[in-house]
Amino acid sequence: MVRAAVLSAVGAPLEITDITLPEPGPGQVRVRLAAAGVCHSDLSLSNGTMRVPVPAVLGHEGAGTVVSVGDGVSHVAPGDGVVLNWAPSCGSCHHCGIGEVWLCANALAGAANIHAHTADGTELHPGLNVAAFAQETVVAGNCVLPAPDSIPLTDAALLGCAVLTGYGAVHHSAQVRAGESVVVFGIGGVGLAVLQSARIAGATRIIAVDVSPEKEELARQAGATDYVIASATTPREIRALTGGHGADVAVECVGRSTTIRAAWESTRRGGRTTVVGIGGKDQQVTFNALEIFHWGRSLTGCVYGNSDPARDLPVLADHIGAGRFDLSMMVTERIALDGIPAAFDHMIAGKGGRSLVVF
């Protein structure tokens, strides 16, 4: 029996309860979690913005130690530190075949599987494949990647989503170049990773935008040169900070129609906007045909930072080891498993950076 955070139904409060995990079958790995980050996507799963089979054990950003492996698993062994990969590529679909592994058609196929059982026999699914909100989990072998030896596992948990997404949004999706200006909307865990990644890319002006004045110090620590409190005049303020033109690049990490539109309006003519935030289908963003022509801006979606974890984790480990990327500064509170509901409330209220469940 292990303790886990279970979502019994969409909109229901999380229940911290005991579950029974099976032993790993062929191609599977059992992992004892060291830490799991509380991501906005977990909140989106709990409130129905994103749909997955329920009841489910939530949590998708984590790292831990291999306890045991099933037949056919050779890339990790008991005792190895691993990072969980919630969106593994199948290697055989159309998108994998053209190198777009972050769009793998089968990445979330495992979420429909039966993962564990509660004490009364209720079958549970793994929320986003990996069910990281638990003391231990059993996952498919392609859902674990060897953790960099130089990074503590509690910090490495952030690599599984926030850091890969933020880094990839800057380097793969927006393709920020040295000397460009970047504005980042939403300074949560992913936003902090975007700020640090923009600094690594050589952006000279990095503007953080958030509704909370309390996040300014954290944003500047991550690399922001300027901080703007979000309002109806935000695009005008961004233009004033960038010579009247607007930023070269905007990265939206909120997932709301108003911030997506504001991000787009904050870029210069010919500017680039990358949308990382996950919004609901009711969040409609509108543009007229003339402004699309006149401004010549681009608006791009971004899934998992357009990242390939196997390719990008070693690069990130190098940045972290060299002190260019600071994982620990992204964590604003370390909590126990039963602190997740309060962490959800903090996200809704726009407080802090990343909450980290430490087991």
pLDDT in tens, 89-145: 999 999 999 999 999 999 999 999 999 999 999 999 999 999 999 999 999 999 999
Question: Which residues touch 118 (CB under 8 Å, ≥6 apart)?
Answer: 6, 17, 18, 19, 20, 55, 124
226: enclosing H helix or E strand:
strand 226-229
When pLDDT is averaged across residues 334-356 and rounded to a whole number, the result is 89
Rounded Cα distance between 236 and 359, Å, is 45
Torsion sign, CA atoms 263, 267, 269, 271: negative
pLDDT at 170 exceeding the cut of 90: yes
pLDDT band at 306 (very low <50, low <70, confident <90, very high): very high
Mean pLDDT, the chain, integer? 95
Higher pLDDT: 349 or 318? It is: 318
Looking at residue 51, its pLDDT comes to 83
Q: Worst-scoring range by mean pLDDT, 22-36, 107-121, 340-354?
A: 340-354
Looking at residue 50, its pLDDT comes to 82
Looking at residue 43, its pLDDT comes to 87
Fold of 2-160+327-358: Quinone Oxidoreductase; Chain A, domain 1 (3.90.180)
pLDDT in tens, 225-268: 999 999 999 999 999 999 999 999 999 999 999 999 999 999 99
Please state the three-class secondary structure of 48-74 as a single string: CCCCCCCCEECCCEEEEEEEEECCCCC
Other C-beta atoms closer than 10 Å to the C-beta of 127 total 30
Rounded Cα distance between 130 and 14, Å, is 17
Looking at residue 167, its pLDDT comes to 98
Looking at residue 347, its pLDDT comes to 85
Q: Are 6 and 21 in contact (CB under 8 A)?
A: no
pLDDT band at 330 (very low <50, low <70, confident <90, very high): very high
Instruction: Enumerate the domain spans of the chain.
Output: 2-160+327-358, 166-303
Fold of 166-303: Rossmann fold (3.40.50)
Percentage, residues of the chain above pLDDT 70: 100
Question: Which residues touch 172 (CB under 8 Å, ≥6 apart)?
Answer: 305, 306, 307
